[in-house]
Chain A
Amino acid sequence: MNKYLSGLAAAVAVALLASPAPAAEKIVISQWDQYWPADLLANFTKETGIEAEWSVQIDNEDMMGKVTASGGKGYDVVFASGPFVEALAKLGLIAELDHGKLPNLANLYAQARNLPFDPGNKYSVPYTWGTTGLCYRSDLVQPDPTSWDDLLKPADALKGKITMLSTDRWLMAAGAKSLGYSVNTVDPAELAAIKELLIAAKKNILAYDDTTFYSKLVSGEASLVHAWDGWCNFGVAENPAIKFVIPKEGSDLFVDAMVVTAASEHKDAAHAFLNYVLKPDVHASIMAFSLYKVPNEKALAVLDQTLLTTYPTLAISSEVLFQQEQLRDLGDGQKEFTRVVTEILAAQ
């Protein structure tokens, strides 16, 4: 027998012998880019024997498109922000979680166990949380900004040196909070007032920017930007003069969470992944990599504490975070909400 054939025979024999054990399971995870350490999936496979494939999602909207188009088939674990978890649950696309398979839920902060968009973690496990606010060059902006009005009604020196987020919910939240409204308002009179404020603000901004605002701060193209706390840290990493502040009128609390699709054929493996992420050292490594806060009390205990001084937003307490208002799905109010957003973005 030539050696290739004998090798083949040996491989067949091994396969036959191995066949009683379950074949290595494989799960597909839809997750943003740059949101977990590069070796996380490999370490997960090493520890559990479950293979994991990463499908990159651009944003929540992209994820919703993929998941609703396929009815969730082809994905086992999906990452989604709070309002989208709510919509996925209402659409029946995600499974109720089996807490018996998630002992590490106990590591979470008490607040993270009872989030309004998903009380009692029925469908979702929070992954990161944070807020939006003002990210600025403290060497170029004096005095330090404290209010949404510093962004929306800027001093002359800042005109044309400001960027705002254009993702609908956060764009509108800046106006809503400045006027003392809820970030979830769909009241027509309140929407009209927000619209007027944001259209007036538009002439003073350099651009709407959801992705490169921190590099505009670093280059000096912009001095003050509307930003997520975690992404502001990418700027801080390059220039320590960059600071973040939650405006005094308050802001939103956003939660990015993990869910298991209802269509998943590997629900046990998907739960194993969720439970793995909740391990203190794993969740801490995610915080150190993404520079977003994680809702895991035990993870904060094992985190490299120097990060908290380098990136002050990571030290924002869960109490302060919980004074901010949580984003909820708007349901039927979404249509009117989107129309107002379109009017703002189309205004000349």
Chain B
Amino acid sequence: MSELTRRLVLLGPGLAWFALFLVAPCAIVFVYSFLERGTYGGIDRVFTLENYTRAADPLYLGIFISSARIAAMTTLAALLFGYPAAYGIAAAPKRWQVPLLILVMLPFWSNYLIRTYAWIVLLNREGLINHGLEVLGLADEPLPLLYNDFAIVVGLVYGYLPFMVLALYSSIARLNPETLEASADLGASGLRTFLRVTLPLTVPGIAAGCVFVFVLSIGNFITPDLLGGGRTLMVGNLIFNQFLSARDWPFGSGLAFLLIALMMLLLLVQAVVARRAGGAGLHA
């Protein structure tokens, strides 16, 4: 068997799966995005660019921007919580690293929806946190923790933090300890070593983690609905509503494609950042 056929045989099932269940549906969505909604919600086979010109409306642009804002806050918070955690795991004794990584992934063992409902129990006005604050005498009035953007960000950070930690861990664990020793030998303080050596060398992990969290957050529609109380409309909700309530599949398809394009652009940026920062100071 030649090298090429062996590769094809090994890649075949995976490629076929992606072609059938990812590429083909995306192609259908792409075609729909150039068609018109029928009067009763079907699809009229008439070519139009209207779905894309409609998306440029300030209303929809505003929804894209506010979604990006929420996704950016989520990403920043996940980075701030995730970096120390990933650093801690990478610095832990070898035999502890795998159990710790399993703990990071443990939440995935239960359903996302159930975990989101758990936050409602914690955050609501009669919930555990407000009740605890009241008992401790720290708050006279229940704090508005639920049904706002704060709750959305909390829910998203909780949901996607493991992706950030895993991406950072893989980058930090590959750091060559000799570079850190060299920095210390040359008289740099711990902080200076971190800022000048560790941080620049883990940029690929930061970029990968940030893109994961941002992309997953901006398309989420369950969390804004449940924890945001439906008061903030994110682009995921907008697309969901076009397909379902409005039965406007063509416009929903157009919006979905714009989101896909934005995500691809981000992945491209991440690849460029990773390539530039990659190489030096890492184990081969």
In the assembled complex, B229 has its CB within 8 A of some CB on chain A: yes
Binary per-residue interface labels of chain B (37-80) against chain A in the complex, 1 for a CB within 8 Å, 0 otherwise: 11111100000000000000001101100100000000000000
Which residue, of B37, B230, B232, B238, has the highest number of chain A Cβ atoms within 10 A? Answer: B230
Given contacts A221-B124, A343-B59, A346-B62, contact A334 B229 (CB under 8 A): no
Report the stretch among A4-12, A133-141, A201-209, A296-304 that lies at the interface: A201-209
Residue of A nearest to B57 (CB): A339
Query: Which A330-348 residues have C-beta < 8 A from chain B?
Result: 331-332, 334-335, 338-339, 341-343, 345-346, 348
**Contact across chains for A87 and B231 when beta carbons are under 8 A apart:** no
A68 to B247, CA, bound (A): 10
Are the C-beta atoms of A62 and B59 separated by less than 8 Å?
no
Q: How far is the CA of A160 from the CA of B124 in the complex (A)?
A: 12
Assuming A90-B40, A343-B59, is B245 touching A338 (CB within 8 A)? yes
Measured between beta carbons, the chain A residues less than 8 angstroms from B66 are 346, 348
A70 at interface by CB-CB < 8 Å: no
Contact A206 B229 (CB under 8 A): yes
| Residue among A62, A163, A207, A338 making CB contact with B241, cutoff 8 Å | A338
Main SS class of interface, B: loop
Q: Which residues of A contact B237 (CB under 8 A)?
A: 345
Residues from chain B with Cβ under 8 Å of A208 in the complex? 229-231
Determine the residue in chain A with the shortest Cβ distance to B237: A345
Q: B245: which of A202, A205, A207, A341 is its contact (CB, 8 Å)?
A: A341
- Inter-chain contacts of A209 with B (CB < 8 A): 229-230
- Find chain A residues with CB under 8 A from B243 CB: 61, 65
Q: Are A346 and B40 in contact (CB under 8 A)?
A: no
Which of chain B's residues have a CB closer than 8 A to the CB of A309? none
Contacts of B247 in A (CB 8 A): 61, 64, 68, 87, 334
Bitwise, A64-91 to B at CB < 8 A (1) or not (0) is 1100100000000000000000110011
Nearest residue in A to B144 (C-beta to C-beta)?
Answer: A160
The number of A-B residue pairs with CB atoms under 8 Å apart is: 91
Contact between B245 and A168 (Cβ–Cβ < 8 Å)?
A: yes
Give the docked Cα–Cα distance between A332 and B36 (Å).
12
Scan residues 239-290 of chain A and give those whose CB is less than 8 A from a CB of chain B.
none
CA distance A291 to B238 in the complex (A): 33
The total of chain A residues at the interface (CB under 8 A) is: 37
CB nearest to B224 among chain A residues: A345
In the complex, which residues of chain B have a beta carbon less than 8 angstroms from the beta carbon of A90?
39-40
**B residues less than 8 Å from A329 (CB atoms):** 40
Q: Which B residues are CB-close (under 8 A) to A167?
A: 245
By a CB distance below 8 angstroms, the chain A residues around B229 are: 163, 205-209
Q: Is the CB of B238 within 8 A of A342?
A: yes
A166 at the binding interface (Cβ < 8 Å): yes
Contact B244–A207 (Cβ < 8 Å):
no
B125–A221 CB distance below 8 A: yes
Residue of B nearest to A163 (CB): B229
Q: Looking across the interface, which residue of chain B has its beta carbon closest to that of A160? A: B144
A344 CB → nearest B CB, Å: 9
Interface residue? A220 (CB, 8 A) = yes
Nearest opposing residue in chain A for B38, CB measure: A91
B42 in contact with A61 (CB, 8 Å): no
A64 to B248 CA separation, bound complex (whole angstroms):
12
For A68, list chain B residues within 8 Å (CB): 41-42, 247
User: Are A91 and B42 in contact, with the CB atoms below 8 A?
Assistant: yes
B40 partner residues in chain A, CB cutoff 8 A: 86-87, 90-91, 329, 331
**Cα distance, A332 to B246, chains bound together (Å):** 11
* Residue B233 CB within 8 A of the other chain: yes
Q: Could you say which residues of chain A place their CB within 8 Å of the CB of B147? A: 206-207
* Contacts A208-B231, A346-B59 given; does A334 touch B41 at CB 8 Å: yes
A219: Cβ under 8 A from any B Cβ: yes
**Is B181 an interface residue when CB atoms closer than 8 A count as contact?**
no
- Interface residue ranges, A against B (CB under 8 Å): 59, 61-62, 64-65, 68, 86-87, 90-91, 160, 163, 166-168, 202, 205-209, 219-221, 329, 331-332, 334-335, 338-339, 341-343, 345-346, 348
9 inter-chain pairs at a CB distance below 8 angstroms, sorted by A residue, are A65-B244, A209-B229, A334-B41, A341-B241, A342-B238, A342-B241, A346-B62, A346-B63, A348-B66
Closest 9 CB pairs of A and B: A207-B229, A208-B230, A61-B244, A338-B246, A346-B233, A90-B40, A207-B147, A87-B40, A345-B233
Extra inter-chain contacts (12) besides given A86-B40, A207-B146, CB under 8 Å: A64-B244, A65-B243, A68-B247, A208-B229, A335-B37, A335-B246, A338-B246, A339-B59, A342-B59, A342-B233, A346-B232, A346-B233
